[in-house]
Amino acid sequence: MTSTATLDTSSTGASNTTQVYRIFIKATPQAIWDAITKPEWTQRFGYGLRDEFELRPGGKYRGHANQGMIEMGMGGVIVDGEVIEADPPHKLVMTWRMAIDPSLAQEGWTRLTYEIVEGRGGVSRLSVIHDLAGRPGHAAMVAGDQQGPGANGGWLWILSDLKSLLESGAQMTTASRLEPPQQ
């Protein structure tokens, strides 16, 4: 079965951007929810952050550096935010910002929504809606447009890696999580 993550960028200018990503995964909504919200799963795909959530309105969200990031001198909290809404295993709404980068942290928080819908045949749809209005640095980074250490494929790469992990039990790539996937 082949499917890919898609990107729909709606914009009325550089300061008003919402990025929408949708991917179909042969997994239950609960399996997808667990992969997104449980630290033992989050560190197995994408950038390998150890994400910790307090899954209640007002609860904290923290994404902690992986070992490769620590070895590069990037310790501590990489991303942070606050849970706005948690409706397991269907919807998670939160604030989100890149805390490790001072210029991005200064841009402030964005709004990130995960929506999980069960489909037919054991396939579920995961939508990631990232409201990046007035946050051009964050918008470039999560779209995979940013260059430099730690830059990568953004949400498309993360979601593709999540799909690979849930469907096959293995990461999409064995390359370092700090390097872009090989073409």
- pTM of the full structure: 0.84
Average pLDDT over residues 33-60: 95
Average pLDDT over residues 109-118: 98
Helices 29-37 and 154-168: angle between axes, nearest 10 degrees: 120
Instruction: Give the per-residue pLDDT at 183.
Output: 43
Kindly report the average pLDDT of the chain as a whole number. Answer: 85
Structural domains in the chain, CATH included, are 6-168 (3.30.530.20)
Question: Do the strands 6-11 and 110-118 form a parallel or antiparallel pair, or are they unpaired?
Answer: unpaired
> Which range is most confident: 36-45, 153-162, 172-181?
36-45
Reported confidence tier of residue 171, pLDDT bands at 50, 70, 90: confident
Reported confidence tier of residue 152, pLDDT bands at 50, 70, 90: low
Query: Which residue, among 29, 172, 67, has the nearest Cα to 180 in the 3D structure?
Result: 172
Average pLDDT over residues 41-57: 94
Q: What is the pLDDT of residues 64-112, one digit of tens each?
A: 999 888 888 888 999 999 999 999 999 999 999 999 889 999 999 999 9
Cα 84 to Cα 2, 127, 140, 148: the distances in Å are 33, 17, 24, 31
CA angle 164, 93, 142 (to 5 degrees): 55
Instruction: Give the per-residue pLDDT at 4.
Output: 44
β-partners of residue 169 are none
Residue 8 reports pLDDT greater than 80? no
Q: How far apart are CA 121 and CA 158, in angstroms?
A: 24
Reported confidence tier of residue 146, pLDDT bands at 50, 70, 90: low
Average pLDDT over residues 115-127: 96
Average pLDDT over residues 145-170: 79
Q: How far apart are CA 22 and CA 12, in angstroms?
A: 21
3: left (phi over 0), alpha (psi -120 to 50) or beta: beta
